[in-house]
């Protein structure tokens, strides 16, 4: 081969390699499997994205192919461009110790990792269910690490706001809640039952031991304060609770959002001074219509809006907007100053194969979020 021919084939070869790397980097097609750099579908569900020191970290539930208990822990992937993801392994591993809160076989869901500028630590909060107890424990758990990829050290798990009233619940309302008795209500969903829920029947039932906490997110406000937002009271009422400065505990200040509204999968974004909370209804792994709330102050009052999802999904994934395009939200991340809705298209028979759906959030002329399907990111 002549030198010039050799050079030409070398250049062609480089171009092919470059374009295949490009193709790989562009392969995040909504509604399809998303591969990591090892060629495996990204097994990180119900999680969040953290940008730290020029790198994006994606935390999520590492799910087994069969069943729904946690066998490994919370996984973490890293990326420079949000497209090419490297598996960094398990950030918080289950414990092999019998009776440990995060004993292998527990359920760890919806992990959220945030960076605390004061302590310079990475803090993980997640929904924890104790081994063998289904979804009845309903706890939030805390873990901490010096590095974004872990290993995270488990700190503790707890119910939330034990012995505390929502900060704006006056004496009269507290008395009304104290007059309820959850054990009396065998039939749910009657108008009488709903009235009792709105009075704070489950708040009172769990007052001493602490409120339930299942689907959850963490939101960091502009002033650096962190809030835990969770589906509580039998998934009927959302709680917004302030975290301490180190993000490792609750200050005791909290409020209820949409009592009796049955919202889960909370995701929060702040736009031009307004807080937007996008949630799902409660239908297990099956998709449903998203719900949306806004407030000028994180402590409310919150106003409900119609679902922000509009239009149709394209490609083979033809779930309608009124089913959140087949997905359930997990987090709203920011990329280059723009918010994106991050969601899971659950596959309840093979949870590890659940798909990812990331969609840009636009704002209409009134500043209201609108979410449309896009094929690729
Ligand atoms: C819906 C929740 O959003 C998920 O995180 C998970 O807890 C499933 N329910 C379990 O059915």
How do strand 369-372 and strand 309-310 relate by DSSP bridges? parallel
155 backbone dihedrals φ, ψ, rounded to 5° = -105, -60
Residue 374 has pLDDT above 60, yes or no: yes
- Of 236, 217, 326, nearest to 275 (Cα)? 217
Ligand 1 atom at shortest distance from the alpha carbon of 107: 7
Ligand 1 probe mutation, 216, 285, 347, most atoms within 8 A of CB: 285
Which bin fits 325, alpha (ψ -120 to 50), beta or left (φ > 0)? left
Is residue 79 domain-shared with residue 184, that is, in the same domain? no
> Which carries the bigger pLDDT value, residue 204 or residue 319?
204
Is residue 99 domain-shared with residue 200, that is, in the same domain? no
Residue 305: both structure tokens together: 């809006």
Share of the chain above pLDDT 70, in %: 93
Average confidence score pLDDT of the chain: 93
Q: In what order do the strands lie in the sheet with 303-305?
A: 264-271, 274-280, 291-295, 303-305
Q: What is the tens place of the pLDDT at every residue in 157-209?
A: 999 999 999 999 999 999 999 999 999 998 999 999 999 999 999 999 999 99
Residue 365 has pLDDT above 50, yes or no: yes
Per-residue model confidence (pLDDT) at position 87 = 98
Cβ of 128 less than 6 Å from ligand 1? no
Is residue 194 domain-shared with residue 141, that is, in the same domain? no
CA of 190 to the centre of ligand 1 (A): 24
Is residue 304 domain-shared with residue 371, that is, in the same domain? yes
- Are 180 and 198 spatial neighbours (Cβ–Cβ below 8 Å)? no
Is residue 34 domain-shared with residue 143, that is, in the same domain? yes
Residue 220 has pLDDT above 70, yes or no: yes
Is residue 43 domain-shared with residue 151, that is, in the same domain? yes
Domain that holds residue 59: 30-158
We report the CATH number of the domain holding residue 320 as: 2.115.10.20
**97 contacts: CB under 8 Å, gap ≥ 6:** 103
3-state secondary structure of 19: helix
Cβ of 351 less than 6 Å from ligand 1? no
Q: What angle do CA 294, 114, 308 make, to 5 degrees?
A: 25
Is residue 251 assigned to a domain? yes
Q: What is the tens place of the pLDDT at every residue in 89-144?
A: 999 999 999 999 999 999 999 999 999 999 999 999 999 999 999 999 999 999 99
DSSP string, 133-195: STT-S-EEEEEEESSTT-PPEEEEEE-BSTT---TT--HHHHHHHHT--GGG--S-SSHHHHH
Is residue 5 assigned to a domain? no
Per-residue model confidence (pLDDT) at position 7 = 53
Is residue 47 domain-shared with residue 146, that is, in the same domain? yes
Per-residue model confidence (pLDDT) at position 210 = 98
Among 158, 185, 202, give the residue marking a domain's end. 158
Is residue 128 assigned to a domain? yes
Cβ of 160 less than 6 Å from ligand 1? no
Is residue 230 domain-shared with residue 288, that is, in the same domain? no
Is residue 243 domain-shared with residue 271, that is, in the same domain? no
Cβ of 48 less than 6 Å from ligand 1? no
Per-residue model confidence (pLDDT) at position 313 = 87
Is residue 165 assigned to a domain? no
Q: What is the tens place of the pLDDT at every residue in 11-68?
A: 444 444 444 444 445 579 999 999 999 999 999 999 999 999 999 999 999 999 999 9
CA of 286 to the centre of ligand 1 (A): 9
CA of 326 to the centre of ligand 1 (A): 14
Is residue 152 domain-shared with residue 242, that is, in the same domain? no
Is residue 201 assigned to a domain? yes
Whose alpha carbon is nearest atom 8 of ligand 1?
Answer: 284
Residue 316 has pLDDT above 80, yes or no: no
Per-residue model confidence (pLDDT) at position 15 = 45
Is residue 174 domain-shared with residue 232, that is, in the same domain? yes
Is residue 334 assigned to a domain? yes
Is residue 328 assigned to a domain? yes
Residue 258 has pLDDT above 90, yes or no: yes
* 112 half-sphere exposure, CB direction, 13 A CA radius: 29
Cβ of 284 less than 6 Å from ligand 1? yes
Is residue 320 assigned to a domain? yes
Indicate the number of domains in the chain.
3
Cβ of 109 less than 6 Å from ligand 1? yes
Q: What is the tens place of the pLDDT at every residue in 342-360?
A: 999 999 999 999 999 999 9
Is residue 299 domain-shared with residue 339, that is, in the same domain? yes
């Amino acid at each position: 081969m002549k030198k010039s021919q050799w050079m030409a084939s070398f250049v062609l070869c480089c171009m092919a390699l470059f374009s295949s790397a490009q193709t790989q980097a562009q392969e995040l097609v909504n509604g399809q499997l998303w591969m990591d750099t090892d060629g495996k579908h990204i097994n990180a569900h119900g999680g969040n994205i953290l940008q730290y020191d020029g790198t994006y970290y994606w935390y999520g539930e590492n799910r087994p192919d069969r069943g729904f208990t946690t066998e490994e822990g919370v996984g973490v992937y890293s990326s420079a461009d949000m497209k090419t993801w490297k598996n960094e392994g398990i950030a918080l591993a289950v414990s092999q110790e019998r009776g440990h809160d995060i004993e292998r076989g527990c359920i760890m869901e919806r992990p959220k990792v945030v960076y605390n500028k004061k302590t310079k630590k990475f803090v993980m909060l997640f929904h924890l269910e104790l081994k063998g107890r289904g979804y009845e424990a309903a706890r939030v758990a805390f873990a901490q690490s010096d590095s974004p990829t872990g290993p995270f050290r488990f700190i503790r798990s707890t119910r939330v706001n034990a012995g505390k009233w929502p900060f704006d619940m006056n004496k009269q309302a507290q008395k009304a809640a104290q007059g309820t008795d959850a054990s009396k209500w065998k039939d749910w969903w009657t108008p009488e039952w709903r009235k009792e829920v709105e009075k704070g029947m489950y708040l009172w039932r769990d007052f001493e031991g602490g409120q339930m906490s299942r689907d959850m997110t963490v939101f960091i406000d502009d002033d650096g304060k962190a809030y835990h937002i969770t589906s509580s009271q039998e998934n009927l009422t959302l709680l917004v609770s302030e975290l301490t400065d180190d993000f490792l505990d609750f200050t005791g200040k909290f409020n209820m959002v949409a009592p009796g509204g049955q919202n889960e999968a909370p995701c929060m974004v702040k736009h031009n001074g307004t807080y937007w909370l996008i949630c799902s209804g409660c239908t297990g792994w099956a998709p449903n219509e998203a719900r949306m709330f806004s407030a000028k102050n994180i402590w409310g009052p919150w106003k409900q809006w119609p679902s922000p999802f509009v239009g149709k999904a394209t490609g083979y994934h033809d779930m309608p907007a009124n089913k959140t395009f087949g997905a359930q939200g997990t987090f709203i991340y920011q990329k280059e100053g723009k918010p994106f809705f991050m969601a899971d298209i659950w596959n309840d028979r093979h949870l590890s194969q659940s798909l990812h759906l990331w969609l840009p959030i636009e704002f209409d002329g009134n500043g209201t979020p609108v979410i449309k399907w896009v094929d690729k990111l």
